[in-house]
Amino acid sequence: MGDRQIAQMCKFIKQEAKEKANEIAIKTNHDFNKEKQLKVLNAKKKIDAAFTLKMERLDSDKKVERSKAVGAARRKKGVKAHELVQKVKDDALKSLQQQIKSNPSGYEKLMTQVLVESITKLNEVNITVECLPRDAQLVTKLLPTALEAYKQTVKAQHKEDPIKYETQLATSAKCSIQLDSSRPLSEKSYIGGVKCVGLNGRIVCDNTLNTRLALATEALLPTIRGSLFPQLA
State the pLDDT confidence band at 59, using cuts at 50, 70 and 90: confident
State the pLDDT confidence band at 232, using cuts at 50, 70 and 90: low
**From start to end of 26-184, where are the E strands?**
126-130, 176-179
pLDDT for 185 beyond 90: yes
pLDDT > 90 in the chain, percent:
32
Is residue 59 included in any domain, yes or no?
A: no
Question: What range defines the domain where residue 166 resides?
Answer: 104-223
Is residue 65 included in any domain, yes or no?
A: no
Is residue 189 included in any domain, yes or no?
A: yes
pLDDT > 70 in the chain, percent:
82
Is residue 147 included in any domain, yes or no?
A: yes
How many domains, the chain? 1
The CA-atom distances, in angstroms, between 10 and each of 4, 16, 148, 153, 177 are 10, 10, 144, 139, 141
Distance between CA atoms of residues 79 and 155, nearest Å: 50
- What would the pLDDT profile of 207-227 be if each residue is shown by its tens digit? 999 999 888 877 777 776 676
More confident site: 185 or 221: 185
List CB contacts of 233: < 8 A, sequence separation 6 or more: 222, 225, 226
Query: What number is the average pLDDT over the span 87-105?
Result: 89
Question: Full-prediction pTM beyond 0.85?
Answer: no
Measured in degrees and rounded to the nearest 5, phi and psi for residue 188 equal -80, -25
Is residue 136 included in any domain, yes or no?
A: yes
Tell me which residue of 187, 225, 233, 232 sits closest to 86, measured CA to CA: 225
DSSP string, 181-194: TTSPPPTTT-SSEE
pLDDT for 203 beyond 60: yes
Whether residue 140 contacts residue 179, with contact meaning beta carbons closer than 8 Å, is answered with yes
pLDDT for 105 beyond 70: yes
Is residue 209 included in any domain, yes or no?
A: yes
Q: What is the CATH number of the domain that holds 124?
A: 3.30.2320.30
Distance between CA atoms of residues 152 and 100, nearest Å: 28
- What would the pLDDT profile of 133-180 be if each residue is shown by its tens digit? 999 999 999 999 999 998 888 877 756 667 776 777 777 778 889 999
Q: Is 127 exposed, middle or buried (0-12, 13-18, 19+ CB in 10 A)?
A: buried
